[in-house]
Amino acid sequence: MDKKDLSTRSPSCLRQAAHSLKMTGEKERIRFGELNYYLYSASNMGLMLTLLTYPFFVEPMFNLKQQGNIWWAGYVVLLILYLICSPKRDSRTEEAEENFSYLSIARGRGADLRFVFGDGRVSLKDVKENAYDLFIIDAFNSGSIPVHLLTVEAIEEYFRVLRSNGVLLMRISNRALNLAPVIYTAADKLGLYACDKTNEGKVHPDADLTVWMALTRDNKKHQTLIINYGWAFLPDSSKTRRPWTDQYSDLISALR
Q: What is the DSSP string of 5-32?
A: HHHHHHHHHHHHHHHHHHHHHHHHHHHH
pLDDT band for position 159 (50/70/90)?
very high
Residue closest to 240 by CA, chosen among 196, 197, 184, 175: 184
The CATH code belonging to domain 116-254 is 3.40.50.150
Task: Give the three-state DSSP class for 70.
Answer: helix
What distances in angstroms separate CA 227 from CA 82, 170, 230, 232, 234, one per listed residue? 54, 20, 6, 9, 14
Higher pLDDT, 221 or 100: 221
Cα separation, 230 vs 21, in Å, equals: 47
Backbone angles phi, psi at 198, to 5 degrees: -135, 160
Sketch the domain layout of the chain as residue ranges: 3-85, 116-254
**192 to 80, 138, 154, 226: CA distances (angstroms):** 54, 20, 14, 15
What count of residues does the chain have? 256
Here the contacts of 32-38 (C-beta below 8 Å, separation 24 or greater) are 32/87, 32/107, 33/107, 33/108, 33/112, 33/113, 34/110, 35/87, 36/87
The pLDDT score that the predictor gives to residue 39 is: 58
Q: What is the pLDDT of residue 7?
A: 41
Which is more confident, 2 or 70? 70
Higher pLDDT, 25 or 129: 129
Residues 180-202 have pLDDT tens digits of: 999 999 999 999 999 999 887 77
Residue 92 has pLDDT above 70, yes or no: yes
Quick: pLDDT tens for 44-87.
777 777 777 777 877 788 888 888 888 888 888 888 877 777 66
pLDDT tens-digit map of 163-176: 999 999 999 888 78
Determine the Cα–Cα distance for residues 208 and 221; give it in Å rounded to an integer: 28
User: Which of the residue ranges 6-15, 50-59, 117-126, 139-148 would you say has the lowest mean pLDDT?
Assistant: 6-15
